Each structure stands twice: as C-alpha cells, then as structure tokens.
Chain A
Amino acid sequence: MTRAHPFLGLTDSDREEMLATIGVASVEELFRDIPQGVRLQRELDLEPALSEQEVFAHLAELAAHNVPASQELSFLGAGIYDHYVPAVVDAVMQRGEFLTAYTPYQPEMSQGVLQAIFEYQTAICELTGMDVSNASGYDGTTVAADACFVAKHATGRAKIVITEATNPQVRQVVKTYAPGFGLEIVEVPHRDGVTDPADVARAAEDAAAVIFQQPNFFGCLEAAPDLAAAAADAGALGIVHADPLSLGVLEAPGRYGAAIAIGEGQAAGNFPSYGGPHYGFLAARQDFIRRMPGRIVGETLDAAGERGYVLTLQTREQHIRREKATSNITTNQTLLALGGLVYLTWLGPQGIRELGETCLSLSAYAKQQLVERAGLELVFSNQTTFKEFAVRVGRNARDVVAAARERGVHPGYALGRDYEGMDDVLLVAVTERRTPAEIDRLADVLAEVTR
C-alpha cells in the first residue's frame, strides 16, 4: 500500500480507478513523453520526510539561533524598522480567503482582495499626494528601478540622477537594472548630510529623472521642494523615495512637485523578517497612469449596475503586451500591501501624525543623550532629522556594534559598510517602540564601549 502523506488525497483504489479511466497501467507510464536521457535515474538525494511536529522542532531550533529585536535592545534601522505591528494586521492577513488566493484574474470570485487593493491604492495616494498608485512592487529597491523605466519612456532621456544620500541598496538595484534599460546612472554627493539643490540642478540636465530620499539614508531632511524643483526645471521627473511613516508629519511629495513617489512599505505594517517579504509602493501623477508598472485595480459596474472592482489598464501588462509591456511584474506583494492597508487604517490620520511626532521627539532625546551623556558627536549636527541620525563613535563602528551587542544592545548600523570615510560612524534608528529609559541605556552602553 502507498504511504499516505498529509498533502496528498488519493487512496490506492482511487489511483487504480483513475489510471483505468486514463487508460494507462501505471503512474510511470504517464511520463512516457520524457526522453530516457533526461530522466533522473535515481531517487532525489534529500533527507527523509519529516512530520509537522519534527519540522516545527527543527525550525524552532534554527529560529533560536537568531537574535531578533525581541531579544536585544535594537536601534538598527537603515531602511528596515522596528515599528509596532498591531494584532489586527496578523488577523486579517491570516484569513485563508486572502492568504490562499491568487492574483484576482476572475473578479467575481475576488471582490474582497480587489476592493482591498483599491483601498490600499487610495491610502498610498493620500499619503503621497499622488493621483494613481499601483497594487505594490516587490520592495523599496525594485520600485526605484520601475520608476526609472517610467521616466525613461516618459522623457525619452537615458540618464538617471540619484543622490548619494539615497539608500545604498536602492542605488545598487537601480544600477543592476540600468544596462538592460539602456540607462546611465549619475550620483550626486551629499554635503554635510544633505543634497545641495544646485548640484542636482547641474546633474539633472538631460536627465530622465532625479531620485532622492526623504528623510535621506542618514535620517536628515532634504530640502525636498528645492530638489524636486531642480529636477522639474531641467525637464526631469522628480522621484521621491519616502518613509511612509514620516508622511503624517512631513509634506506629501505630490504637494511639492514630485512626479513619482516610491518607498519601502515595511515600516507600515510588516515585520522585519530578515528582509522580506515586504511591499514597495509606487504612486505617480495622473500623467503617468498608462505607463505605470504592475497591477492596478479600478472601479466599475456589474451587469446589474452595482459597483465592483477589477484589474484594469491591463494593456500595459506583460500578459497582454508581452515584449512591449511596461514591466514584467506578475506576482507582486498583495498580502503585504493588505497588511499595510490594515495598519494605515488602524493608525488613521491622527495616529500617523502622533507616530511621526513620537519618532521625532524620541530621536531628539536620543541625540541629546548620546551627546550629553555618552559624550559622542553628531556627524550632521546642522541638519534636522526624523527618526534616524548619524553619530561619530571615535573608533571603528563595527567594533562598537560588537562590543555593545555583548551588553545586549544593538546600537545601530555601521555606515562605513557603505560610505568611505565613515568607518567611525553609527546610524541610530529610534522608533516609537523605544522608551526614554531604553535610550538612556543605549547612551550608557555607548559611553562604556567608546571610552
């Protein structure tokens, strides 16, 4: 008798009946079209199958070999943040009807997820001040590459300007995509932690787009309206990479002239999860609606005149346009974007403003404590920051991280990993989950390990 498996449903007699209906003698015969020369002539060399209990024990042990933010006091950010994810997010994402559905190709079976995406698109447009949002991209790096593709085709130009104060991983991904898109990438250096609009104005000549981050990778606030204006004056699209949770306090990119707003959605409703899965958001002005990459949900009417939702503007997409598509994206990050929508609904307009104000005040307190209590020096002391800031620790920052971790504190990200001349600089992130007492402890530990 064939051994049962929890993920199989056929009995031996089922198999016999089915083979008889097909008209073959064995399962083996079903594979007769596969030439012998390309068949695997042995069993797969894999370990024996585990039961659920065994697999749980094995993975729980692997998980125990990690040190997550729940086990050390962490000030690590640099693009992925330890914001609180409320229970309602998990509860909605775990509904099997959402979790185990696919892309809503059949809208009458999928009104739930279609309406949710429509609500998500609305939330992203509200946050960013844009007219149209897609249903999500893979993460905060790939949406930057997507935006470059839009800019190239919208302007007919082949140069992308990106500020050095933009997340290094975003820059790396854009550079990886650039040769295939036929794009040249030019980087604009920062001056004292921020980008000079005059530098951008010079670089933006003949550029398809200017990409900058707000708040930037160092946590500093850029003169975003001036940077967007410098791009627009040169005929380039201003593309703003924004922290979604800053947008309760900071002006919406659409309100200061940006053409496209993109960002990493993780902070808003997803767990860090060692880097994913998360969602990237991409929203643009109305002008670019037919150049948008990825899925878009639109409102329509059904045969009875009732409101309903469908995937729309599909003539942009790969399954219709094939080699002329605006992107090759198929699977996106719908479930994570749904988590984002639930989170933003939970926050509401007051919540997102309060959250921003809390991050501002706590990080201001942290700056004060690291200077006054730990005797450290802020690297960009002239700049306004949001929830993250750079501090000089007087010795190799990676050694400081290691020493602080021995004391149960992860003090931040060693910027020397990405920036020359910054080997002694730590990037410290403070979210609403950190308390003043925890910040005091960070200051004490840093005072100790940098002495």
Chain B
Amino acid sequence: MTFELTGAVRERGVDLSLHVDTAEVLAVLGPNGSGKSTAMSLIAGLLRPDSGTASLDGRVLFDLGRPGRAHVWVPPHARGVALLAQEPLLFPHLSALDNVAFGPRSVGRQRSASRAVAQRWLAEVDAEEYADRKPAQLSGGQAQRIAVARALAADPRLLLLDEPMAALDVAVAPAVRQMLRRVLHDRSAVIVTHDVLDALLLADRVVVIDGGRVVEEGPTAQLLARPRSAFAARIAGLNMVRGRREGHGVRSHDGLFVEGLAEEPVAEGQEALAVFRPSAVGVYREPPGGSLRNVISVTITELEPQGDQVRVRTADLSADVTVAAVAELDLAPQTPVVFGVKASEVAIYRA
C-alpha cells in the first residue's frame, strides 16, 4: 500500500478515509459539493484537516489531532504529490518548456538538466512542437497536455487529477484521455471525475463520496455493473430500487415492488437492491397482458435524446426507447405511462 489517508474537516462536514495501492489509479466519484475537492486539497497539503493522518510510501504526511501524539505536518512542496487541476494553470510568464521544467528546477536541478527532463515529458504528451510557446498561445487541449507533462516532470510519488477533462472541448477530451491512460500506466494516482468514461478507462478502482463520506468502493467494472449507491447507479446509467427482500423481489420503502433474479442468496426482509438497464424497460400506454412480471405505473418527467434512442425519465426510473416509439406512443412530459420489465432482466443483490 503506498498511500493512506484519514481526515476530517469539520467546517465542510468531511470525514474520509482513502487508500491507493502501488501503481493503482483510484477514481473518486460523487455529486457536486460531496467533498471530492476537499479530499484532493487534504492530500496535496493545501488544506489542513482538524484531525487525521496520511502517509505516502511509509512517510507520514500529516498526523493531527490525535491525543498524546505530536503533530506532524509536511508542507505541500515536500510531499511528492503533484496536483493537476481542471484548468491547466500554466504559469503565463513562462514558455511551455519552462513550465514543464519548473518542477525539476524547484528541487535544485540545473537549468539545462531541467530542460532536458522537460523535453522528454513534452514528447511523452505529444506536445514537443509547443515548447517555445507562451500559455496564451495554446489551445485548451494543448495547455492541458503541457500541464500533465509539468505535473509528471516533478516526478511525484502520487499524482492528483482534479477533473482534468472537465474544462476541455468535447472534441479534444478523448485524445487527452488516451494520453492520460498511457502516462498513468504503472503510476499511483487519484482522479476526481464526473465522467463514467474516465473511471472506466483510467481507473482500477472507484470510491464514491457523498456528504463528505465514502459511501461505496470497489473495482471499477464491478462497481459500475453492480452499484450500491444511488449516485453510482446514476452515473452507470442504471435503474436502482432499494428496499427489502420480499418473495421473488424487492419492496422499496415507498411500496414499489420489483421482481427479479437473485445473484446471491438474500434472506427475506434483508436490505436489498434491484438493478436493471433502461434498455430492458418497455413503455406502454395501457398495462400489457402476458408474462411480464413487473408492471409499474409512472408519469414521464423528461425526454432526453441519446443518439438514435430517447431516454424516458420519470421520478425514479428511466427507459430507453426508439424515436419512432416516442412518436407512435405520443410520449411527452406529464404523460402517464406504464413501464414493463421482465424479471429476468432485473438483478437482485444485497445492499
């Protein structure tokens, strides 16, 4: 284990613990204001928690507020933790090359040696041709590449990425994501993101933070396929019903009953989750007859085009239908409809 953190910041209602293994990329997901950025500031040393401890490669970064223990506080510059923010934040008075050389220069290396290191990292992020440009002459995607090179040139033991793609054009984000995928290989890193693609392509493991606490964690693929928090279900694009096991299904706290197949034994009355994909949901104007086990009356709140499909949203559940079906069924917000789901499409597991 290379990095461990527990820290509480009372003022922001944050009380977290995280760990990152050697050469592991951890994605931190969570709604706005859930404490993700606070976690990053704690790790980087830009925010001092009321209490907690952190260590990186066996070295204590901070140890605060524990009775009978001397306080330890390592300042940001001595932590070996580099931060890449949403905006590139390249130093505007330095060329791209000197920006990248900033880290090596700051730890006392010679100008020429630092520039050689910077050249190598610029090549690594495919940005050699911009070496002599000032940040004002770079596009958002180019600047963010150089910011990545700058962070890596500082040779951090742990790299922090705080929504690195959020400020980029949709058109350039995929190329930057590919580049990150390449340079993060074999590195310890924490990436805060809103985007399920970032988690899938970049991270080995995911933690979900909500209300300042870790509510869920696990390997990326597993967590996204079988989410346990409402937030994870939402970003994985899955319908989730939380309730108690009852017969062949799950009964939610407000009475909704969903029947499905249990992936593991779940005892009657135990807290359980029923999860199914929006594409497994059929939409009807009248309750259909036949073998359909789950027939749920809902009211449409929103229609959202997604490629050649339309996502039909209701208060709790969503369905994916074709554009033709929307026209044929004359669907619109406020329309009362019936959702039908086959029990075999619903996975039930312990909460």
**Are A and B interaction partners?**
no
**A interface with B by C-beta (< 8 Å):** none
